[in-house]
Structure 1
């Protein structure tokens, strides 16, 4: 479910932030994304920072800690976490502000190569032993009809898993990844497989999308039945989300994309 995004920074939150940063000279509320109650770019005396937050009693407050815990292990891929505040009923994270713009996944976009490079760099990372992450078999267990297929998704790669274009910032000729709340462990080919869905939703046909995913070094090493099973599981997952109709129209677009992908795999 989508989280209601506040249109302005509450006074108590601003005071908590200023206790760490000093005076805030300007606030730009950010509308992109669905998982935070607070998302804002704050202008300080010399720099800007990005702040995201949830109330501590929010059902997804755990995502804040997940992002805080994973951040030291994602340097050069993600913006650095500067501080975390847990008080006054709020959980707030302050990140370096990368600036830049959201990635363009449309056919012919020069951003596609940059996203692939980020994905290749991420493929070299392993899940940190100190951070509790769900595995992809755990996350997909509800969406397979044959439990034996879950072993296809096993692996020791650190995965981002949420390749929505809003979560990829293009800055200084690089793609940088934000919103690591759904970081998981699993087979290295799963991130490019999840990217396929967003590529289709962005205007590629399924074959074109897969040809881009196939540039990832893990793709050609993966037996086709493993990817087939994942495509079917994603179709079921997005159908369940679309049937609930939350957070809205884009979920139906993603469901249609998974249908197109699963059909292409067949």
Structure 2
């Protein structure tokens, strides 16, 4: 078995996320590429989640082409086999991400000037693009919403498991694939993510404008988050936000010419 536990007193937000994940994990059917959920234990102010042991390793960084396509294939299969009755119980992705996508508006309101001249000169237009892009994420498919390499396990049998589902939402399934490509570009800025997005079937329902707008929304969140003060107990969070911001903005520049 695999267990993870946090305390409401020591990790208030984390404990709330555990409680939310327990509700979602209990709804996910065995046919999905997820570890089997065995139960939730609560004692004193502790929350513990118990899963079947999930053999596998995280994808290597930088991402290898084979592992990247393997994960995108799994996401496409998941989109084809949506679990009935779950998505109606989840929050709408475009609603959940609207505040995140307003990061450029917060930057302008604070009169904070990004170091990147292109970014500084185009904040207003990028904000409008981000808000339009978030609207394009509406849908009725199950979305992990926080997918990256440390939430993915690759099995020796060729299977893929997706773990940590507290942010699950209802929206466009290709959003998860987009966040995976952004992470891949952090470690390989030369990765031709546009070629993958234009050829892999997980992106078949996404227009070019929708992808660009969603990418602008991600950039808005990460650029805004990276300038914030450090979070106690999470010393690497802001540097992670900065890396994501750099990857998003670079890809966004390329897409906008």
TM-score category by the smaller chain? 0.7 to 0.9
**For residue 139 of structure 1, what is the aligned residue in structure 2?**
96
Matches of 2:58 and 2:13, distance apart in 1: 27
**Structure-2 residue corresponding to 1:187:** 172
Task: Write the deviation string for residues 161-196 of structure 1: whole angstroms up to 9, x where unpaired.
Answer: 222211111112111111111111111221211122
Instruction: Report if aligned partners of 1:107, 1:204 keep a CA contact under 8 Å in 2.
Output: no
Could you say which residue in structure 1 is the equivalent of 2:4? 52
Matched, 1:249 2:244: no
Aligned length: 217
CA contact (8 A) 2:87 2:140 kept: no
Judging by fraction of residues, say which structure has more helix: 2
Tell me the secondary structure at the aligned position of residue 13 of structure 2: coil
Asked if residue 162 in structure 1 is aligned to residue 146 in structure 2, the reply is yes
Q: CA deviation at 1:83?
A: 1.6
Question: 1:15-164 counterparts in 2 under 5 A?
Answer: 49-57=1-9, 58-71=12-25, 72-75=27-30, 76-104=32-60, 106=62, 108-124=64-80, 125-126=82-83, 128-129=85-86, 132-142=89-99, 143-144=101-102, 145-146=127-128, 147=131, 149-164=133-148
Partners of 2:87 and 2:203 in 1: CA distance: 28
Do 1:127 and 1:157's aligned partners in 2 also have CA atoms closer than 8 Å? no
Structure ranking higher in strand proportion: 1
Decide whether the 8 Å contact of 2:18 with 2:47 is kept in 1: yes
Structure 2: gaps (5+ residues): 103-126, 232-236
Q: Secondary structure at the match of 1:263?
A: helix
- The TM-score with structure 2 as length reference comes to 0.75
Cα distance change of structure 1 residues 213 and 130 upon mapping to structure 2, 3 Å threshold: closer
Question: 1:105, 1:112 within 8 Å by CA — same for their partners in 2?
Answer: no
| Counterpart-to-counterpart distance in 1, 2:88 and 2:2 | 23
Deviations 1:85-107 (A, max 9, x none): 01111010011111221112535
TM-score (norm: length of structure 1): 0.73
- CA distance in 2 between counterparts of 1:55 and 1:90 reads 4
Structure 1 pair 130–217 and aligned structure 2 pair: CA distance change class (3 A): closer
How far, CA to CA, are the matches of 2:59 and 2:29 in structure 1?
19
